[in-house]
Chain A
Amino acid sequence: MSDNKFFFSPADDDRADGFEKVTGSAKFTAEHTLPNLAYGLFVCSTIAKGSVKNLDTSKALAAPGVLDVISWQNCPKVPGYDPAPENKNKPGFEWRGLKVLHDNKVRFYGQPIALLVADSFENAMGALSLVKAEYDKEAHETNFDKARLVDANLKAAGNYKRGNASAYQTAPVFIEAEYNIPVEVHSPMEMHSTIAVWEGADKLLVYDKSQGPKGTQTGLARAFGLPDKNVRVITEYVGGAFGNALRSWLHVPAAVIAAKKLNRPVKVLLTRPQMFSLVGYRPQCWQKIGIGADKTGKLLGISHQAISGTSRYEEFREGIVNASKFLYACENVDTDYKLLPLDMSTPTWMRGPGEVTGCYALESALDELSYKLKMDPVDLRIKNFTDINPENNLPWSQKNLLECYAAGVEKIGWKNRPKVPGTAKDKEWLVGYGMGGGVFGAGKGNASVRALLKNDGSLLLQCAVSDMGPGTSTSMVLVAAEAMQMPKEKIKFALGDSDLPSGPSQGGSGTTSTVGSAVNLACTTLKTRIKELAIQTIPAFQNLKTEELEVKNETVFLLKDGSGKMGIKELLQKANKPSIDLTVDSVGGNSSKEKKMTSNSFSVHFVKLRVHSKTGEIQLTKVVTCGDAGKIISEKTAKSQMMGGVVGGIGMALKEELTFNHSTGAIKNASFGGYHVALHTDIPPIEVFFTNKPDNYVNEIGSKGVGEISLIGFAAAVTNAVYNATGKRVRDLPITKEKLGFKNA
């Protein structure tokens, strides 16, 4: 991975790792081979709450190839499970969340109660059911809809007020409505796994599916009482994650524990059903929105309440009500957010965390208000557009939503939208148009990047970030090619290894901004070093200052007239240097002391669909998705990412729902056969539009993220289009024909 081969030169804008991905040579976590590798699988609880009274492992241990069954009864001591008193209150020293194999308590259905390790996958799988558990059961609650009605069950998670509370109720025109989303699950195609290898008593090598090799490294180092440098985490390719690899779940320490106990490499694999319960999910959420305006559509009040689920053993919060505070101009806003702990595993960030949930409700409510006002929903948004963030009163560094509205209106054919819902027909189909918008924070974090320019003319850049699919190396190579003014075929970006210079976790749409800024800094520093070397080496350049030289097209020359040109390869050879090697630390945040502006990425989605008048079948016929996310570094991969958000949004709007058997607490549909994600046949033509305007307040390269905004607001666009087609307003996702009043055929 960190080699410097350039055997495949992608065309102008192709994905940098496309060759590896289409030939199957890209190695994902579970695919690393090690001698003497053992296989670990979890034995999971068949109750939702209580404790394991008796665990009979004798039959399993007698089965062929079984090496061990590790449970709380025989688990080696894990320092981070019970930190020393002096570390107890320091952040990160105590293992966050559930301590797997540590006690006999059961907190949710399907919780690992033991790890069975065998010498082959077949032997592990074959013996799994031979482990017998007896339980002491306690009463559990997984029914969100029921439990949320009891105030005593709820925990306050923050509220906000600007102007008057509930001001919408006194507005000339207002609506009030409740919206529900079910539990949704990331379900990336690669199932999570971890391979742990102890390379000595205090040295650990881990292959892990992780969105943040550095975070995983630190977490494991603290948990197992090692210095960070003694833990190496490799996460070369990540087969999708969408947020669920932002933290180390139970299988990660379990693999490390087993490898320690057995003194051999252990690979712990999750099964697809376990992917629905052991690596997080988007929590179920109930929301109520009240929104009112004067007769011209000027918003007078927004009230937004939300209750979302969490586990009994951890609090998970996200910014569900945040966009309501600032997306539109409105003097009176109040929000209230509460959590509902249930006997389920802990939710986590899922693509567009918080905002996806909140904007679904807000953008649906705005649509409802527009019909009450007899106003075009786009016009209603334009009417309440603001350049100043009303929450913090700072101007936006860039906000080009008006351009997005105009592009979407034109490209979707908004003029054909029926003013009266249910009136546009195409034979037996009812045709509808809808739109919805989204917003997500944009910022820049800390990152370090190493640049290694070799005397063969190649440039290697390294950062300990990982890439779950957006095309991080592709964008980083383009940033470097631009900064160095050199061909991208000679540049390689290496990632996915905690031994590389520190990088951020890939999340919150921040990678391109954060790592891109560091790559840019590394390249500008490298150019200065090249100039310094030229001044030292080339007699004609003696006594010149670096500002008087330019580096471009792999040469260094005099800026004022382009004279004295020397190839960089030649320069290094002449100076007898095999390479220039430097590492820079790029600092996050904004360099100006006082924050003068505020920054976000924005999106607007337009949907055209049809609903069959006899069966209720919903078919999307066209999508236009518009992103306002600063400069687009790699248009091809950014477009793919936007389309991916749309596809996820189609799933969210029409298909995805994790369901529970509340009498046992078990998940009912933990497979792709039961949990329906969008398929080839669900996808209409998707057109992507970018405003592509650099936002240089956020960072030097002017780029913001598109990963989250591509999904945020999309489900509302579908909801609104279904209403426009049928006149039926569905406020519970997913929208099904049954909810539209059709019988299931």
Chain B
Amino acid sequence: MSQKLLQESRRNFITRSAAIAALYLAPPVFLKAAAIDKVVPLPIEKEKLALEINGKAYDIMVDSRSSLLDTLREQLNLTGTKKGCDMGQCGACMVLVNGKKVNACLALATDNNGNKITTIEGLAKGEQLHPMQEAFVKHDAMQCGYCTPGQIMSGIACIRTNHANNRQQVKDYMEGNICRCGCYQNIVDAILEVKKSGKPV
């Protein structure tokens, strides 16, 4: 997504889901000022949305307020993408949109019309794991496994965008992906190994 598009989608997001965002983010003072009753759109329209997810085409109707994350998880049962905060702060919902990494919780589903989305479910070919998934298993780069899909998607983006040339670079790039079990060292080991192997990601 271009910078302009990103800004555009961010503005849409803020205006169209102000109520949702406000509930999460705002202290009580802001809630009063925002006159919440007016920004909740009533009645709610469902919008048409065409997506290509993991190579499969979807033509669906979505709630105009639905995030890409909730559309994946609640409507399409693609629950591999995780909800860790719903505020863009943890990276558990990382997906690739047209090849670029995006926090799915911060993206409105309807802003993704025509986009190609890759989620964690789209990486393995049957039982054949993607090199990054294989490396995560080998290095035990997980404990509870909840942040793992997001770490893997970011890890792939890390290599694709040429940010995996050394340990510090990987750590800097991966900073937005929180792992509360504390598997960071193994995650970085896994990413560096995939990079070193030269396998296509």
Contacts and interface: CB of A to CB of B under 8 A. Distances in A.
Contacts, number: 220
A120 B63 contact: yes
Contact of B138 (A11, A644, A681): A11
A8 interface: yes
Contacts of A644: 143, 181-183
Contacts of A677: 178, 180
Contact of B140 (A15, A26, A130, A272): A15
A666 B77 CA distance: 36
Contacts of A30: 73, 83
Nearest to B132: A22
Contact of A31 (B65, B79, B138): B79
B121 A190 contact: no
B51 interface: no
Interface in A242-277: 242, 271-273
A227 interface: no
B43 A680 contact: no
Interface in A1-50: 7-8, 10-11, 14-15, 17-28, 30-31, 33, 46
Interface residues of B, number: 73
A306 B129 CA distance: 51
B100 to A, nearest CB: 19
B58 interface: no
Contacts of A647: 179, 181-182, 184
A648 interface: yes
A26 B44 CA distance: 33
B171 A23 contact: no
A646 interface: yes
Most central of A8, A20, A671, A686 by chain B CB within 10 Å: A671
4 closest A-B pairs by CB: A24-B80, A647-B182, A239-B146, A21-B145
A636 interface: yes
A189 interface: yes
A59 B37 contact: yes
A272 B181 CA distance: 17
Contacts of A189: 82, 84, 90, 92, 144, 146-147, 178-181
B136 A64 contact: no
Interface string A83-124: 000000000000000000000000000000000000011110
Interface of A: 7-8, 10-11, 14-15, 17-28, 30-31, 33, 46, 59, 63-65, 120-123, 125-130, 186-191, 237-242, 271-273, 468-471, 636-637, 639-641, 643-648, 664, 666, 671-673, 677-681, 683, 685-686
A47 B109 CA distance: 35
A341 B129 CA distance: 52
Interface stretch (B6-14, B19-27, B193-201): B19-27
17 contacts: A23-B80, A24-B121, A28-B79, A33-B77, A121-B74, A123-B44, A127-B40, A237-B145, A239-B145, A469-B143, A644-B182, A647-B184, A671-B87, A671-B89, A672-B85, A680-B177, A681-B172
Contacts of B152: 22
Contacts of A645: 182
A490 B187 CA distance: 28
A123 to B, nearest CB: 7
Nearest to B179: A189
Contact of A122 (B44, B73, B183): B44
Nearest to A634: B140
Interface in B151-168: 152
Contact of B40 (A11, A126, A636, A681): A126
A120 B172 contact: no
Given A24-B121, A59-B37, 5 more contacts: A22-B145, A25-B80, A120-B63, A643-B185, A680-B187
Contact of A126 (B19, B74, B127, B184): B19
Contacts of A65: 44
A18 B146 contact: no
Contacts of B185: 643, 683, 685-686
Given A677-B178, A680-B177, A683-B171, A14 B89 contact: no
B188 A187 contact: no
B82 A126 contact: no
B175 interface: yes
Interface string B114-127: 00000111011001
Nearest to A46: B28
A539 B111 CA distance: 74
B120 A24 contact: yes
A640 B28 contact: no
Contacts of B22: 129
Contacts of B146: 28, 188-190, 237, 239-240
B31 interface: yes
A160 to B, nearest CB: 34
Nearest to B150: A189
A637 B185 CA distance: 13
A680 B20 contact: no
Interface string B70-98: 10011001111111111101101000000
B112 interface: no
B144 A19 contact: no
